[in-house]
Every structure is written in C-alpha cells, then in structure tokens.
C-alpha cells in the first residue's frame, strides 16, 4: 500500500450499535432526535413519535407524540379554586418523559432542557415535547474506558 492510502479497515471491529436499537452511534443532535423518537419510544413504550422540522439554529427539536400510552386512562379534574382546592388543570401528567429524555441524552454527553409545550390532557390535539440543547459535555469516562 502506498503511504498516502488511508489505513485499512478490514481488520477493524465495527463500532457497537445502540443497545438493541440496530442503529449506529449518534453524531449529531438530529441523529439523537431520530434515535429517541423512532428507537427509544418504540422500544420502551411500543409507540413511535415524529420529530418536527428543526429550526435554523439546529439547537432544539420537538417530539410529536400522537398516541401517548400514559394518558390513555387519565382524566384531569375540572379546575376548582373555591375553598382552597388545588388547581390540577396545569399538571403535566406525562412530564416523566422529559426526565427520561434528559437522562438518556446526558448518557451521550448532551445536556438538554425538556419541556412539554402541548398536552392532550390540557386540550391540545397532540403531545409535544420541546428539547433544547444547552451544552455538549466533555466525555466523562476515564482514560481506561476511552476507545483508541
């Protein structure tokens, strides 16, 4: 082989795919968004969701969930403020998704903020979760765990 030829990859082991997802590692926020929407939600909830078109800055995305299994048998009570009753109309029953998404993306060094912007239980037609990239964190693994 000539000295200018790229190194051979014939003996290189392929990088492992996402655990059980069948895809490769995510290299961009767009790829991470697709993995969360199509692999994560499908694997853990049995439903998939759509990724709304990315804004021009590419630092956020929205997940659109048409069939939310957490809200299937839930009805929030009517708003009552008389006699000091607690107003549950603003409660976001599916907010657990935001914590799961945030935790999952932190595992791949993406610090994000997740917010429900539309909620079926609040009268919207779909559930929408806004995911905003706050920081790409340095790899937290020690040197003994780094790939060569």
The domain spans of the chain are 29-72+89-137
Answer whether residue 9 shows pLDDT above 50: no
Q: What is the pLDDT of residue 70?
A: 87
Q: Which pLDDT belongs to residue 54?
A: 92
pLDDT > 70? residue 136: yes
Report the alpha-carbon distance of residue 140 to residue 67 in Å, rounded: 35
Q: How far apart are CA 62 and CA 50, in angstroms?
A: 8
Count of beta carbons in the 10 Å neighbourhood of residue 112:
22
Distance of CA 88 to the CA centre of its chain: 26
The dihedrals phi and psi of 4, each to the nearest 5 degrees, come to -90, -10
Better pLDDT: 121 or 141: 121
- pLDDT > 90 in the chain, percent: 42
Residue 15 pLDDT level (bands cut at 50, 70, 90): very low
CATH superfamily label, 29-72+89-137: Trafficking protein particle complex subunit 3 (3.30.1380.20)
Helix/strand/coil for 71 = helix
For 139, the 3-state DSSP assignment is coil
Per DSSP, helices labelled H in the chain are 29-34, 41-45, 96-106
pLDDT averaged over the chain? 79
pLDDT digits (tens, 9 = 90+) for 87-119: 666 678 888 999 999 999 998 889 999 999 999
User: What number is the average pLDDT over the span 23-41?
Assistant: 87
What gap in Å lies between CA 119 and CA 116, rounded to an integer? 7
Q: For residue 100, how far is the Cα from the chain centroid?
A: 8
Instruction: Specify the pLDDT at position 105.
Output: 92
């Amino acid at each position: 082989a000539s000295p200018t030829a790229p190194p051979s990859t014939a003996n290189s082991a392929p990088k492992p795919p996402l655990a059980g997802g069948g895809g490769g590692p995510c290299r961009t926020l767009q790829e991470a968004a697709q993995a969360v929407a199509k692999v994560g939600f499908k694997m853990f909830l049995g439903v998939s969701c759509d990724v709304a078109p990315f804004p021009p800055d590419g630092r956020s995305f929205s997940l659109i969930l048409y069939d939310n299994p957490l809200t299937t048998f839930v009805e929030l009570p009517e708003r009552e403020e008389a006699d000091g009753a607690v107003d549950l109309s603003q409660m976001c029953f599916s907010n657990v998704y935001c914590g799961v998404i945030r935790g999952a993306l932190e595992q791949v060094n993406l610090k994000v903020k997740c917010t429900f912007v539309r909620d079926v239980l609040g009268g919207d037609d779909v559930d929408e979760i806004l995911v905003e990239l706050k920081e790409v964190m340095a790899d937290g693994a020690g040197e003994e765990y780094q790939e060569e």
